[in-house]
Amino acid sequence: MPQTKFILDEKDIPTRWYNIQADLHEPLPPVIHPGTLQPIGPQDLAPLFPMEIIKQEVSQERWIEIPEPVRDVYRLWRPTPLHRAHRLERELDTPARIYYKWEGVSPAGSHKPNTAVAQAYYNKEEGVRRLITETGAGQWGSALAFACQAFGLECKVYMVRVSYDQKPYRRLMMEVWGATVLASPSPETQAGRAALAKDPQSPGSLGMAISEAVEEAAQREDTKYSLGSVLNHVLTHQTVIGLEAQKQLELAGDRPDILVGCIGGGSNFAGFTFPFLPDKLAGNRKDLRVIAVEPQACPSLTKGAYVYDFGDTGQMTPLVKMYTLGHSFIPAPIHAGGLRYHGMAPLICALYDAKVIEAVAVHQNPTFEAALTFAKAEGFLPAPEAAHAIRVVIDEALQCKVSGQRKVIAFNFCGHGHFDLSAYERYMSGKLEDFEYPAEKVKEALAGLPKVTV
Ligand SMILES: Cc1ncc(COP(=O)(O)O)c(C=O)c1O
């Protein structure tokens, strides 16, 4: 029988993260101060992040050492398995060879702890007592709650209202790990109160929850802010995924033709694909296709503008150049809460702009159809976010059936959907809506962006 799982030993947990900034053909555009509209320096970020994280954010070193206490927590679930999806291949009757890197085995159920653990560690090392964050789907909040528990820090999470209502068990999971969880927009912050005054029924958004978390973190000496995606250091921490996957594909004797991942802020996609990119950036693997999958309801890469925008709704964060739908855009309440973000990681945007990576947008009904096909064949129940990647993997595998090509398709299976069963229920009872791309609302949101000339 052909092998199904490719498993590494604990000693194979990477000792260094890969920082793609070292291999970019051009440096990233500068990050801009929202007040002065000039490039920011490390001191501007110091109220929010510990110095080691600020250093990593701008580091041009190719490799960053993973501290031993971080690797020690990683040992609870890393290395994660790489699976060959034989059963899915048979179900699709495709000649393609499909692999998935299974990140849902972490305590929180997704890739998010890979950076949460590192961030909690650096904060603890620099004497921080409390971390504040936001969460969309609840996966990031759970990951940070777990990581704070591991290093003895307090944790407070602003959870986007629509997820707070859809996923009470995610909230309870965070509370088990000792975190305090609030629905966002909340009456606790100025940003939240202003949003509630405009719309008391606001479903919230990641951009709004970020404003609340940043506002509170900036006001307290003992507290810092922690972000689960978008920023360079977060993407770098996630590269443990791709570094392991490279070794595992070697064990399997295969070389990928197509890499796929879903994108909300870009971290799991980056973590999985970036370690494969130096060859492509150097011109040695022009044939390697790297596909980012986003929701049609929030299509930052495929429909956004590549301009400077705020990371949050309340205009408190620095301005970064990214593909954005506008910071005031509130995406429709799709069930892939982790993909409801108006912007995208600047590193992903630069690679998309340079045509190193591709992007595809999909609707949630075909996404859930793919999730069910996958769950029936492989057993595991995908998170709605992960199912976006699976939709495109299935489409590519079906194309191979038509063309007869035996392509190797590998994707990041970034999380399980055990807390998303109400979304599965809605899909199975035919009640799930597809939301068209809201062109008018995006146009309005983009019209209000500041003009940055650097
Ligand atoms: C399971 C899962 N996948 C993907 C995402 C999207 O984030 P990112 O693009 O940073 O991986 C999230 C975010 O919450 C998530 O929970």
Pocket test for ligand 1, best of 112, 135, 160, 235 (most atoms within 8 A of CB): 112
Please answer whether residues 237 and 82 qualify as being in contact, where contact means their C-beta atoms are separated by less than 8 angstroms. no
The 10s digit of each residue's pLDDT in 216-231 is 999 999 999 999 999 9
Pocket test for ligand 1, best of 144, 238, 385, 420 (most atoms within 8 A of CB): 385
In this structure, the residue with its CA closest to atom 10 of ligand 1 is: 267
Distance CA 374, CA 382 (A): 8
What is the whole-number distance in angstroms between the Cα of residue 67 and the centre of ligand 1? 24
The DSSP secondary structure of 312-334, one letter per residue, reads STTS-SPEEEEEES-TT------
Looking at ligand 1, which atom is closest to the CA of residue 136?
14
What pLDDT sits at residue 338? Answer: 86
Left if phi > 0, otherwise alpha if psi is -120 to 50, otherwise beta: which for 144? alpha
Q: How many CA atoms lie within 13 A of 208 on its CB side?
A: 31
In this structure, the residue with its CA closest to atom 15 of ligand 1 is: 338
Question: Which candidate, 359, 345, 337, 352, places its Cα nearest to that of 417?
Answer: 337
Distance CA 12, CA 245 (A): 11
Whether the link from the prior residue into 79 is cis, omega within 30° of 0, is yes
Distance CA 445, CA 191 (A): 18
Tokens of 92: 């699709």
**Ligand 1 pocket, 413 CB below 6 A?**
no
Pocket test for ligand 1, best of 80, 339, 381 (most atoms within 8 A of CB): 339
Distance CA 138, CA 160 (A): 8
Distance CA 150, CA 104 (A): 19
Strands (E), 185-336: 223-225, 258-262, 289-295, 305-310, 319-324
pLDDT in tens for each of the 454 residues of the chain? 789 999 999 999 999 999 999 999 999 999 999 999 999 999 999 999 999 999 999 999 999 999 999 999 999 999 999 999 999 999 999 999 999 999 999 999 999 999 999 999 999 999 999 999 999 889 999 999 999 999 999 999 999 998 899 889 999 999 999 999 999 999 999 999 999 999 999 999 888 999 999 999 999 999 999 999 999 999 999 999 999 999 999 999 999 999 999 999 999 999 999 999 999 999 999 999 999 999 999 999 999 999 999 999 889 999 999 999 999 998 888 888 889 899 999 999 999 999 999 999 999 999 999 999 999 999 999 999 999 999 999 999 999 999 999 999 999 999 999 999 999 999 999 999 999 888 999 999 999 898 888 7
pTM of structure: 0.97
**Ligand 1 pocket, 174 CB below 6 A?**
no
What is the whole-number distance in angstroms between the Cα of residue 36 and the centre of ligand 1? 32
The SS3 assignment for 438 reads coil
**Ligand 1 pocket, 110 CB below 6 A?**
yes
What pLDDT sits at residue 166? Answer: 83
What pLDDT sits at residue 137? Answer: 81
User: Environment class of residue 431 by beta-carbon count within 10 Å: exposed (0-12), middle (13-18) or buried (19+)?
Assistant: exposed
The 10s digit of each residue's pLDDT in 49-102 is 999 999 999 999 999 999 999 999 999 999 999 999 999 999 999 999 999 999
Distance CA 41, CA 84 (A): 45
What pLDDT sits at residue 2? Answer: 85
Find all residues with CB under 8 Å of 7, minimum gap 6, and list them. 79, 81, 248
What pLDDT sits at residue 168? Answer: 92
Please answer whether residues 139 and 108 qualify as being in contact, where contact means their C-beta atoms are separated by less than 8 angstroms. yes
What pLDDT sits at residue 336? Answer: 86
Left if phi > 0, otherwise alpha if psi is -120 to 50, otherwise beta: which for 321? beta
Tokens of 301: 């890469």
In this structure, the residue with its CA closest to atom 13 of ligand 1 is: 338
Please answer whether residues 132 and 225 qualify as being in contact, where contact means their C-beta atoms are separated by less than 8 angstroms. yes
Please answer whether residues 144 and 179 qualify as being in contact, where contact means their C-beta atoms are separated by less than 8 angstroms. yes
Strands (E), 10-112: 16-18, 63-65, 82-84, 97-102
Tokens of 109: 């159920």
What pLDDT sits at residue 327? Answer: 95
The SS3 assignment for 304 reads coil
**Ligand 1 pocket, 142 CB below 6 A?**
no
What is the whole-number distance in angstroms between the Cα of residue 338 and the centre of ligand 1? 5
What is the whole-number distance in angstroms between the Cα of residue 34 and the centre of ligand 1? 27
The SS3 assignment for 439 reads helix
What pLDDT sits at residue 114? Answer: 98
C-alpha distance from residue 424 to each of 24, 52, 303, 335 (Å): 40, 41, 27, 9
What pLDDT sits at residue 333? Answer: 85
Please answer whether residues 114 and 267 qualify as being in contact, where contact means their C-beta atoms are separated by less than 8 angstroms. no
What pLDDT sits at residue 236? Answer: 99
* Element of type H or E holding 206: helix 206-219
**Ligand 1 pocket, 343 CB below 6 A?**
no
Distance CA 124, CA 110 (A): 23
